[in-house]
A and B are shown apart, each in its own frame.
Chain A
């Protein structure tokens, strides 16, 4: 593989190749998320959550374990909301209890994975798991503000973006390309300037306003 001299420089300084590539992937994934939001209309929980989940997926051993953990976290979060509702707790203590439950139950899911000889699940490193547990706060916040339906929709969109991001960031071709031409990531700046000035309808809005279309 041809590696650019600037990347070789970082490697000489002792940085692992994977770390350098991951950092260079960050603007690419962020731009992808911006593009999906502004042009396609996929919302997700802001930009940070899908980004961090993408990287959590990259850090788990394979996508399926990442998705399993993500889904269990969301489902547990949803259940806990209904369990905690009658107690009428204030926001932060409530989220704290929820996080506790998610943490305990995630342990359970991991142990179950071990039981079913899905050793890959148990071998997932702790950081991606922690990252995904924190999604529960985002989820709860949206659930309070906009209701469970909206929260589930946003979680689904987040999952979708993260999966797309995962495939892009783990693409051998792209990794090789960025390794050879790392400066190319600067192209994301003009792309984002264009996106930031984009006033066209989002693709999702063509569907949202389809009733008006018939009358124009």
Chain B
């Protein structure tokens, strides 16, 4: 019985975070996407026109065919080597045909992604079906159009199968709240459609770097199928431009709750492929995060400018990469300078800024700092016994140790080659606490009074950490 209530409680908790179909339709699409805005989004040619008018880049329109008569009189030589044929009111990527080049020595045939041939007759039949409304939302007669085929970005080449990846950005109240990179796969036969087996990658909004990945409806994946290519950590180029375009598209379209689809063309950079008035919910799985909570967070904000909206989105919904990285690797991410706590003799504690230095083997601390930690005697006694390096460099380890072994609290001695030149240093044992992880270790003592940081942490003490130089 208790188990049952616990279950009910978790359900209640997650229903507050995850956006379900009911809430999406009733609380977001209904009030924020009014009929006129929806009509704009559902009409690809119209949205293309409106976006172009507002100086937003879209795939160039080549030609449109509205009637059977236009189809019969169409000048097929007008079509370039590669193009995309789309139904104006299509949805879910249905009815789209993409060709990559003309068949050699033939004027009337093109080659599709799967290398099969597409003749003018095939195109005609397909267009007749489009005009008939086979692919339109409500089965009503439709318009077909040709647009330029976008060129795959080199960066995405190893990740996508035949088609071109696109980026879905959900924008609400001028704030980008969640984003996903969709990769076409063999399973989705080159379509960037999750339902058909494409891969959705969650994106860290602050940096535009991919995080977790889902294939199809709910299978979490780590690698590109059939390879050892990691899906997380792909840095999406033009990230700021993409966010800007998405927010701008929301302002223009009047869709309060918008899913903007943006693809990156090799030559032209990011272009808006489609506006979506009913964005799908799988983006939550790709990001392993709930959309409802995010939407609620930004719903009361007064966002005046586009820049502000982007900043809010980045601040609120970015930065999760690091936590995830820590989760995956079991290691903590630290910067090149970290605040650390030193615990010395008799539990004496000092907090200092330390330089994280992967060039050094051992950590070393300043003599003054050692004194504060209760090792004053060690420093003084060692100084008295200290001899020039040349005098002791040829001694064996044991002979060396015999000279210094009576120094109080000394753990070892070690020759060090550093920016100080060759030196001979005493070592003491203490505990360094970095990002809440305590490490008990030997450290070398040296006069660092002329240096910025009284402590450097060397690589022997960094095994549990990853270092982010941007931090």
Binding site for B on A (CB under 8 A): 38, 41, 88, 90-92, 141, 144-147, 150, 197-202, 205-206, 208-216
Residues of A within 8 A of B125 (CB): 88
**Is there contact, CB below 8 Å, between A147 and B196?**
yes
Tell me, rounded to whole Å, the shortest Cβ–Cβ distance linking B14 to chain A.
6
Nearest chain A residue, comparing its CB with the CB of B23: A199
Tell me, rounded to whole Å, the shortest Cβ–Cβ distance linking A206 to chain B.
6
Interface status of B9 (Cβ within 8 A of chain A): no
- The stretch among B109-117, B126-134, B269-277 that forms the contact with chain A is B126-134
Interface status of B13 (Cβ within 8 A of chain A): yes
**Is there contact, CB below 8 Å, between A211 and B220?**
yes
- CA of A39 to CA of B220, assembled, Å: 26
A-B Cβ contacts below 8 A, count: 83
- CA of A17 to CA of B288, assembled, Å: 55
- CA of A215 to CA of B290, assembled, Å: 10
Nearest chain B residue, comparing its CB with the CB of A41: B21
Main secondary structure of the interface of B (DSSP, over half): helix
- CA of A216 to CA of B285, assembled, Å: 12
Residues of A within 8 A of B17 (CB): 216
Residues of A within 8 A of B23 (CB): 199-201
**Is there contact, CB below 8 Å, between A212 and B284?**
yes
Residues of B within 8 A of A201 (CB): 11, 14-15, 18, 20, 22-23
Tell me, rounded to whole Å, the shortest Cβ–Cβ distance linking B135 to chain A.
8
- CA of A197 to CA of B27, assembled, Å: 9
Centre residue among A91, A201, A211 by max chain B CB count within 10 A: A201
- Assess A202 versus B289: contact at CB under 8 Å? Given A91-B132, A145-B94, A147-B196: no
**Is there contact, CB below 8 Å, between B14 and A90?**
no
Q: Which of B125-159 contact A (CB under 8 A)?
A: 125, 128-129, 132-135, 139
**Is there contact, CB below 8 Å, between A141 and B217?**
no
Name 22 interchain pairs, CB-CB below 8 A, sorted by A: A91-B132, A91-B139, A144-B135, A198-B22, A199-B27, A201-B22, A201-B23, A202-B20, A205-B21, A205-B281, A208-B281, A208-B285, A211-B214, A211-B218, A211-B220, A211-B288, A212-B14, A212-B288, A212-B290, A213-B14, A215-B288, A216-B14
**Is there contact, CB below 8 Å, between B10 and A199?**
no
| Apart from A144-B94, A201-B23, A208-B217: 5 A-B pairs, beta carbons within 8 A | A41-B21, A144-B135, A198-B22, A201-B15, A209-B285
